[in-house]
Amino acid sequence: MTRPSDLDRLCAVPFHIADDATRAAVLGHLADAELFAALAEDPRGDVADLMLFDMDGTRAALACDDAAELAAFVGRPVAHAAVPGRVLAGALAAEGRALIVNPGRPSEMLLDAHALGWLERALAQRPGEGEARPESLGAPEAHVVAALAGPLAARLARMGDLLSGAALVGAVWPGGARGTLLAIEGAVGDEQPAIAKAVAELVAFLPPVDGGVDVTFQPLPLPPGALRLELTQAPAPAPEPAPKPDLPPRLRW
């Protein structure tokens, strides 16, 4: 087996016996990962036929986050296509198919059409818009910080060129409702919808917090106890020497 991937490291407990929060985190990472989907034959132009397996009465595609693992599982060299996890999940869910991921690895999982449909719905999350302003701001709750701070910081760090900073604060809204506010700094108007969508998508994969999470791009005087997120991103690996196509092939089964 090749060295552990990010998905393997997330699956310290096997996916199918992990708790709901861990499973959601794994699926969130799977959506952002580049997967190598096994093909029945070499692509013809921009069309590729997925290799399908019979699994418990349904047809399942096979994908790994390491191309070499496909051949090891199938037992021979196999054609493959590099596809974002979210694209593959959406295509299979629409057809009622399943997905085998990383067989024989710590992150081995079999996602049926129901699980892929849940993933697709989570990825479709979009933030609502409102004009309400909080009546008061304070420190975020400790359990909110524990659940959100790390994942939010990691996600926003990957969008670091779109914003200059972010902070978590507790908010009391008109009428007394309490919640959490994520204050984004330095994002220009054209970039704000993409950032808000990324936050809404991420929160859908995390344990729910009381009062929900709202996002603001308006300048706020941060209250005592506000948690400023550390958005330092690890250095990117050296780019692959061979260029990749702009679009994945159209998948068929």
* Residue 132 confidence (pLDDT): 76
pLDDT (0 to 100) of residue 32: 87
Alpha-carbon distance of 63 to 102, in angstroms, equals 6
The overall average pLDDT reported for the chain is: 85
Residue 233's pLDDT is what?
55
CA 205, CA 170: separation in Å to the nearest integer? 21
pLDDT at 223 over 80: yes
Token pair, residue 8, equals 């393997």
Decide if pLDDT at 243 tops 50: no
Closest to 86 in 3D by CA, of 116, 48, 44, 42: 116
pLDDT tens profile 146-193: 988 988 888 888 888 899 999 999 999 998 999 999 999 999 888 999
| CB neighbourhood size of 7 (10 A) | 24
Share of the chain above pLDDT 90, in %: 41
| Residue position matching structure tokens 């304070």 | 138
Residue 241 has a pLDDT of 44
Long-range contacts of 118-122 (CB under 8 A, 24+ apart): 118/27, 119/27, 119/30, 119/31, 119/86, 119/89, 119/93, 120/86, 120/89, 120/90, 120/93, 122/24, 122/27, 122/28, 122/31, 122/201, 122/204, 122/205
- What is the per-residue pLDDT across 100-110, written as a single tens digit (0 to 9) for each? 999 999 999 99
Q: What is the mean pLDDT of residues 223-244?
A: 66
Between helices 85-94 and 20-32, what is the axis angle to 10°?
A: 110
> What b/e sequence results for 108-120 when a residue is b if at least 16 CB atoms lie within 10 Å of its CB, and e otherwise?
bbbbbbebbbbbb
List Cα–Cα distances, 159 to 73, 85, 184, in angstroms.
Answer: 35, 19, 12
- Stated length of the chain: 253
Cβ–Cβ under 8 Å, residues 163 and 187: yes
pLDDT at 249 over 50: no
Token pair 């999470």 is found at: 213
| Residue 253 burial by Cβ neighbours in a 10 Å radius (0-12, 13-18, 19+) | middle
pTM summary value: 0.69
Q: Is 18 helix (H, G, I), strand (E, B) or coil?
A: coil
In words, the CATH class of domain 6-124 is alpha beta
